[in-house]
């Protein structure tokens, strides 16, 4: 077959490159430009300042937001990916149970504002469901949305929503594993748990790494639950980067500093994606994937 020339091949990439330039590259460049400008609220005054970047390391709230984001990612790795994997393992044994999978997946389709409000009621100190259960069990009620539980509680809700999503992804991988692999293991006397952890999980590790990537990068985007459940969070116990960004841009109307935080956040997310890519390269390697 005749090979097309390089110039023709580039043409195929033009739509994608155009989209990338318009949606990613130009806004990123503009955000960087805004971050080195002086502003009076929404009006640009001059270009060429580094004062916003000098403020970053001294910002207590920013430090707290980063910390909360990382703690949130840690918990969601367990509560979303870990629980999703466990549920997929259960679902594979209940292969005909569409009802089970539908129920576990159901929270994904609920609007996050509704979910947030429902859970806010469940977490309420005086009349919330969880504290009523604790009181019934003879324990002291907890302030679920106050420190030190704030981030954990939001992660719990996040896990409740997204575990079903990850279950579906992992389930799709598990059903693609040939039955012969599992039958051989069974004949060799492996228990269901051994088969799950030693055969099924390793064979879908590319999907697990995908889950890792979604949770770590997505962890820096979460806004709705935090905003709905914590409102303005006067204790800053649940401040995360997106809520802090919205506060900086809209409440404080500080475009320059908000842009500097965005640039830092972009750099951090790109760095994390790089680390995940490395994990994927060395851990997943070239083995067969399902």
CB 215 within 8 A of CB 80: yes
C-alpha torsion 41→43→47→51, nearest 10? 0
- HSE value, Cβ hemisphere, 13 Å, CA-based, for 71: 18
Choose between 78 and 113: whose C-beta lies nearer to other proteins.
113
Considering the complex, state which of residue 195 and residue 229 has its C-beta at the smaller distance from other proteins: 229
Contact between residue 167 and residue 101 where contact means Cβ atoms under 8 Å apart:
yes
Q: Which residues bind to other proteins, rule: CB under 8 A?
A: 40-43, 55, 58-61, 120, 124-126, 143-147, 230-236, 246-247, 250-254
Q: Which is nearer to other proteins, 188 or 251 (CB)?
A: 251
Least spacing, CB of residue 218 vs other proteins, in Å: 23
CB 238, min distance to other proteins, A = 10
Spatial separation of the C-alpha atoms in residues 5 and 74, rounded to whole Å: 48
Minimum distance from residue 141 beta carbon to other proteins (Å): 9
Interatomic CA distance for residues 38 and 256, integer angstroms? 6
Question: Six-digit token pair at 231?
Answer: 């409102």
CB closer to other proteins out of 59 and 74: 59
Closest separation in Å from C-beta 47 to other proteins: 20
């Amino acid at each position: 077959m005749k090979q097309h020339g390089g110039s023709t091949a580039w043409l195929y990439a033009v739509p994608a490159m155009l989209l990338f330039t318009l949606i990613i590259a130009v806004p990123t460049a503009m955000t960087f430009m805004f971050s080195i400008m002086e502003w009076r609220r929404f009006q640009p005054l001059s270009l060429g300042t580094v004062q916003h970047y000098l403020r970053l390391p001294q910002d207590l709230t920013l430090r707290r937001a980063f910390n909360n984001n990382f703690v949130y990612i840690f918990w969601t790795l367990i509560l979303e990916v870990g629980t999703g994997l466990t549920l997929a393992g259960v679902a594979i044994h209940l292969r005909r149970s569409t009802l089970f999978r539908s129920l576990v997946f159901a929270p994904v389709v609920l609007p996050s504002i509704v979910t947030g409000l429902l859970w806010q009621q469940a977490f309420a100190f005086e009349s919330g469901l969880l504290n009523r259960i604790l009181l019934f069990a003879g324990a002291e009620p907890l302030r679920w949305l106050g420190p030190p539980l704030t981030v954990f509680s939001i992660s719990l809700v996040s896990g409740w929503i997204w575990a079903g999503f990850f279950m579906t992804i992992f389930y799709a991988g598990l059903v693609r594993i040939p039955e012969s692999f599992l039958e051989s293991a069974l004949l060799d006397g492996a228990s269901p748990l051994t088969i799950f952890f030693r055969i099924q999980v390793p064979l879908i590790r590319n999907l697990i790494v995908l889950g890792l990537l979604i949770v770590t990068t997505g962890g820096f985007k979460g806004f709705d639950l935090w905003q709905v459940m914590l409102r303005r969070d006067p204790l800053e116990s649940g401040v995360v980067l997106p809520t802090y960004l919205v506060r900086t841009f809209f409440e404080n109307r500080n475009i320059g500093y908000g842009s500097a935080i965005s640039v830092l956040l972009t750099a951090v997310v790109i760095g994390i994606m790089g680390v995940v890519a490395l994990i994927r390269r060395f851990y997943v390697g070239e083995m067969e994937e399902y």
